[in-house]
Amino acid sequence: MATIVLGVCGSIAAYKAAGVASRLVKLGHEVHCVCTPAALEFVTPLTLMTLSRNPVVTTFEDETGSWVPVHIDLAQRADVLAIIPASANTMACMAHGQCPNALTSLYLAYRGPVLIFPAMNGMMWDHPATQANAATLAAREGHRIIGPAEDGMLACGTCGKGRLVAEDLAVQEILAALPE
């Protein structure tokens, strides 16, 4: 089976990454979660570790168990990198090659398919800077942006675009991106 890295960013939708991880593990895949510091405001490493059955990388301090940094090891072993949910901040870092954390550092070292599942307030998604960053990422070879969902109630109380796509769709897209 495949090795899948789920990059989890700071968004209220971060809890849905746990469900995606659980489904992928039940299908027999090896799942590793790498969280941005902001993601830890929304979901705990213990939850993701339990459901993925692997330690969760949250900081560079988590990389002391081997002489090969974990973000490099995972970048070399992963069959797909799925950023779910992708925040505006992480998308900006990825678009501009900035790597302030373990997830964005792993992204720069990774050379396979990258799936980006945005989730944010609709005004943030529609901002020209976010749209430019999304266009930059979508233009890169092997990159796909899935979502955000077109319409629905957002956690901030507004209705509109910005919600994370359904977990079923996310799992389907991840499976479809795996090498045959």
Domain ranges for the chain: 3-177
pLDDT at 158: 63
Does 40 score more than 80 pLDDT? yes
> Would you state the pLDDT for residue 149?
76
Lowest mean pLDDT among 49-53, 66-70, 94-98, 124-128: 66-70
DSSP summary character for residue 38: G
Which CATH code fits 3-177?
Answer: 3.40.50.1950
Take residue 3 and report the two structure tokens written for it.
Answer: 């090795």
C-alpha 180/C-alpha 159 separation (Å) is 39
Give the residue-averaged pLDDT of 84-101. Answer: 97
Residue 60: predicted pLDDT? 64
Copy the structure tokens of residue 122.
């609709």
Question: Beta 30-35 vs 80-86: how paired, if at all?
Answer: unpaired
Q: Share the mean pLDDT of the chain.
A: 91
E strand or H helix that includes residue 124: helix 122-126
Query: What stretch of H or E contains 25?
Result: helix 15-26
Average pLDDT over residues 12-35: 96
Whole-number Å distance between alpha carbons of 23 and 41: 23
Average pLDDT over residues 148-171: 75
Question: What percent of the chain is predicted at pLDDT more than 90?
Answer: 76
Q: Is 156 among the catalytic positions?
A: yes
Give the global pTM. Answer: 0.92
- Bigger pLDDT: 162 vs 30: 30
Q: Which of 33, 99, 156, 159 is catalytic?
A: 156
**What kind and span of H or E run contains 175?**
helix 167-177
Residue 151 has pLDDT above 90, yes or no: no
Q: Measured in Å, how far apart are the chain's first and last C-alpha atoms?
A: 10
**For residues 71-82, average pLDDT:** 92
d(CA 18, CA 52): 8
pLDDT at 69: 72
